[in-house]
Amino acid sequence: MSEQLKGIAASDGIAIAKAYRLVEPDLSFNKQAVDDTENETKRLETAISKSNDELQIIRDKAKEALGEEEAQVFDAHMMILADPEFTGAVKQKIVDEKVNAEAALDEVSSQFVSMFEAMTDNKYMQERAADVRDVTKRIMSHLLGVELPNPALIDKEVIIVAKDLTPSDTAQLNKNFVKAFVTDLGGRTAHSAIMARSLEIPAIVGSENITTEATEDEMIIVDGINGDIILDPTDAEIAEYQEKAKAFAAQKAEWNKLKNEATVTADGKHYTIAANIGTPKDLTGVLDNGAEAIGLYRTEFLYMDSAELPSEDDQFQAYKTVLESMGDKPVVVRTMDIGGDKHLPYLPLPEEMNPFLGYRAIRISLDRQEIFRTQLRALLRASVHGKLQIMFPMIATLPEFRQAKAIFEEEKAKLVAEGTPVSDDIQTGIMIEIPAAAVLADQFAKEVDFFSIGTNDLIQYTMAADRGNEHVSYLYQPYNPSILRLVKNVIDAAHKEGKWTGMCGEAAGDSIMAPLLLGMGLDEYSMSATSVLRVRSLMKRLSTADMKVLADKAMTEMTTNDEVAEMVKKATNQ
Ligand SMILES: C=C(OP(=O)(O)O)C(=O)O
Ligand SMILES: [Mg+2]
């Protein structure tokens, strides 16, 4: 008998494959006194040598599948295994204190981790703490005889089952083998879900108990369109979902015909459908899906992909690549938005009770200005290679925008004085993702060139419901009239000052939200590249005038998210 589970549909598509549990095994142990320290030292040496062999294989595979840069992290791990200061200290402890290898390893490792973490003025050494932790886990697994999951070694088609995936876990997934993923935790707008959409890997998050229900190698069906999971499916169920997968592929082929068309509504109005990217690697998806601009380049991934703060030149190269690939199409580059669920191993942030309400994004940039200025200089230098627009994230107050803009102008003036060519036509705008800024949009509109509404955060802050927490996902309500009124306020405020407004939160690509946004007069819609053609196809059959009536009704007559959704579905035949 098959078993059915339900989660939050996070990335479209259907996959049928065996489960691969990316779940950390139990590495707990008891500290024990030993008499035969020689034998204990041998146990340790065997575990180290097995770890080394394993890392060598993982490194080779990672290089093959993901490239040299991604593989280099494993070199750092092998260096620790070969470091006599580390392994020697463990051996010494076994002999001196007559304890088992597990206890000696754990204690020495903790000392090294604390020592590295304390080196706050040496980012490189601080980052070694994470490597020591990883290597310790690997040696420990061999001492205890349990297997660690090694995603880099996956060489057959699988569906990843995990408690949660961080954005960097997701970046390492090899699309050739990973056919889908399902997690216990998470919401639709968590960054791993957003990345799954740009990688075109079907995904379901927030299933609550997939890791307790799915066993290794068990067959699973993942329906990322509806959020359905079937464990150990029957032959009939497999056949049914193979048909659904075919229908989905056919639908995509149909949408694909619109790739080179402009986005024009049934009543002849033109809108811009843009794409969101995280790295220059995502450009293929942007071009393949016929996006008319880049409405959000999340530059923090450049920082997350790097072992240290990326240099001005490295950043310049990335920005130039993106600008050149887009030609005369606009590219909105958002300055670094670290914090919340996005971390840099080399930039330790304070422990916070509420990281999403804490030290993040522009707050870090204005505080750590050397990081911000380097990024702005790289952007300014790249500006002559395309149509650059710069956007600041998490702006709450006008003084924050003014300070960011002033720093931008200072760096621009310095470059000009040095004789470096920069464009003199760079628009500067802000993300509207904090309710305070949405409410005061009329005041902001006098000073910025554009707004881009970040509904992923705007909804979580307005509803006080964590975007990544499946327990409160019922409160994550894009169509709640409160959200709609805030969005409308922002669009109207911009238009009054002759400015444009885009939306780069996931709601822009949502089939219920897009008709309402059309009705409110939103100018630019920026979404996962894989949503562009679906939304273009939808807009082609909608009339702006009809959608205006619909949006007004949603904001004035409706009281709940579900009422709005029902009304839009009916009115737009979805
Ligand atoms: C686009 C947004 O930014 P991010 O998802 O990166 O927080 C948003 O908050 O809507
Ligand atoms: Mg945001």
- Expressed as residue numbers, the domain containing 119 is 37-144
In the chain, the number of structural domains is 3
Q: Which residues pair with 427 in a beta bridge?
A: 389
Asked whether residue 29 is assigned to any structural domain, the reply reads no
413 and 465 assigned to the same domain: yes
Where in the sequence numbering do the catalytic residues fall?
191, 504
**Among candidate residues 272, 306, 321, the one with its CA nearest the CA of residue 292:** 272
CB 207 within 8 A of CB 182: yes
Q: How much distance in Å is there from the Cα of 562 to the middle of ligand 2?
A: 24
Tokens 């990081």 correspond to: 371
Extract the tokens encoding 307. Answer: 């072992």
Q: For residue 25, which of 139, 148, 164 has the smallest C-alpha distance?
A: 148
What CATH number has the domain bearing residue 130? Answer: 1.10.274.10
The CATH number for 375's domain is: 3.20.20.60
Q: What is the 3-state secondary structure (H, E, C) of 252-265?
A: HHHHHCCCCCCEEC
Asked if residues 215 and 19 have their Cβ atoms less than 8 Å apart, the reply is: yes
Phi, psi of 488 (to 5 degrees): -65, -40
Residues 332 and 441 in one domain: yes
Instruction: Please check whether residues 208 and 139 belong to one and the same domain.
Output: no
Q: Is 505 in the pocket of ligand 1 (CB under 6 A)?
A: yes
What is the separation, in whole angstroms, between the first and last Cα of the chain? Answer: 33
Assess whether the C-beta atom of 290 lies below 6 angstroms from ligand 1: no
The ipTM of this complex is 0.99
Task: Determine if ligand 1 sits within 6 Å of the CB of residue 517.
Answer: no
Do 338 and 473 reside in the same domain of the chain?
yes
Query: Which two three-digit tokens encode residue 410?
Result: 């200072």
- The answer, yes or no, to whether any atom of ligand 1 lies below 6 A from the CB of 337, is yes
Q: Is the residue at 31 inside a domain?
A: no
CA atoms within a 13 Å half-sphere pointing along the CA-CB vector of 210: 37
Ligand 2 centre to CA of 393 (Å) is 7
> Does residue 114 belong to any structural domain of this protein?
yes
Residues 6 or more apart whose CB falls under 8 angstroms from that of 535 comprise 263, 273, 508, 509, 511, 514, 525, 527
Select from 253, 271, 304 the last residue of a domain: 253
Domain assignment present for residue 309? The answer is: yes
Residue 145 is given by DSSP the state T
Nearest CA to ligand 1 atom 6: 298
The last residue of one of the domains, among 209, 232, 253, is 253
Answer yes or no: do 345 and 410 share one domain: yes
Answer yes or no: is 536 within a domain: yes
Residues 392 and 332 in one domain: yes
Find, among 143, 169, 135, 138, the residue nearest to 154 by Cα: 169
**Is the domain of 282 the same as that of 219?**
no
**For each of the chain's 574 residues, which pLDDT tens digit applies?**
899 999 999 999 999 999 999 988 899 999 999 999 999 999 999 999 999 998 888 888 777 766 777 677 788 889 999 999 999 999 999 999 999 999 999 999 999 999 988 887 776 777 778 788 889 999 999 999 998 888 877 889 999 999 988 776 777 788 899 999 999 998 888 777 888 888 889 999 999 999 999 999 999 999 999 999 999 999 999 999 999 999 999 999 999 999 999 999 999 999 999 999 999 989 999 999 999 999 999 999 999 888 789 999 999 999 999 999 999 999 999 999 999 888 887 888 888 999 999 999 999 999 999 999 999 999 999 999 999 999 999 999 999 999 999 999 999 999 999 999 999 999 999 999 999 999 999 999 999 999 999 999 999 999 999 998 889 999 999 999 999 999 999 999 999 999 999 999 999 999 999 999 999 999 999 999 999 999 999 999 999 999 999 999 999 999 999 999 999 999 999 9
pTM for the structure as a whole: 0.81
**Ligand 1 binding pocket includes 131 (Cβ within 6 Å):** no
CATH number of the domain enclosing 13: 3.50.30.10
Instruction: Choose one of 197, 362, 457, 506 to mutate for the ligand 1 pocket test, by most ligand atoms within 8 angstroms of C-beta.
Output: 457
Pocket test for ligand 1, best of 302, 338, 487, 504 (most atoms within 8 A of CB): 504
Sequential DSSP letters for 541-558: T--HHHHHHHHHHHHHT-
Ligand 2 midpoint to CA 155 (Å): 35
Burial group, residue 543, by CB count within 10 angstroms (0-12, 13-18, 19+) = middle
